Amino acid sequence: MTTQQRIPRARIVLSAVVAAVAIGALLVFWLQPSTTDQDIVHSAATERHQVRLTIEHTGIESGEWLLEITTDGTDPAAVDHVLVEPAMPSMGHALTPLTATAEGAGRFRVRDVTLPMRGQWEITVTIAALGTEDRVVFPLLVTG
């Protein structure tokens, strides 16, 4: 003979309410677009160039990226053009390459960059100069 204990109805309702509130809070946190107020700065180098990438806004909304390209860390490099290629290898996504606009000696800007989803991105910067191409890859984690 087995006996069953009944769980009070109030306890079941309370548990369901607590679970619903917790799930709702997680959804609000996860779905809320967020940005970072601080610039993200990455640096990398090839044999010929040093590249500094400043991301002035990151997130699933659009932002601006500044590229500073030098030959030795201080002297602006003579560059023909710069392409920026955001990709998310883990998901098989790649965005259309963006051409950076020259703003001055060794300074280039990419405007209205939109990364459509959260996660780990790789930003490939291709520098064309003097008939050669250099590439650097920057990691970028988009959380908001």
Q: Using the structure block, give the residue that is written with the tokens 């390459």.
A: 97
In a domain, 125, yes or no: yes
92 is a domain residue? yes
- Would you state the pLDDT for residue 28? 42
Backbone angles phi, psi at 58, to 5 degrees: -135, 150
Confidence at 89, pLDDT banded by 50, 70, 90: very high
CA 38 to each of CA 19, 35, 119, 137: distance values in angstroms, whole numbers, following the listed order: 35, 9, 19, 21
- Structurally, how many domains does the chain consist of? 1
Answer whether residue 71 is part of any domain: yes
HEC string of 62-84 equals CEEEEEEEECCCCCECCCCEEEE
**13 against 41, higher pLDDT:** 41
Helix, strand or coil, per DSSP, at residue 133? strand
Contact 91/119 with Cβ under 8 angstroms? yes
Q: What is the pLDDT of residue 70?
A: 95
Quick check: is 47 in a domain? yes
Is 10 a member of any domain? no
Please give the residue range of the domain that contains residue 64: 40-142
The confidence score (pLDDT) of residue 31 equals 44
Highest mean pLDDT among 10-14, 26-30, 52-56: 52-56
Residue 14 lies in a domain: no
Q: What's the CATH code of the domain at 71? A: 2.60.40.1930
Statement: residue 125 has pLDDT above 90: yes
Q: Dump the DSSP string for 12-69.
A: HHHHHHHHHHHHHHHHHHHHS----SS-EEEEEE-SS-EEEEEES--SSS-EEEEEEE
Residue 137 · residue 122 · CB < 8 Å:
yes
Q: Is residue 112 part of a domain?
A: yes
pLDDT tens digits along 32-61: 444 445 678 999 999 999 999 998 865 666
Q: What is the pLDDT of residue 2?
A: 59
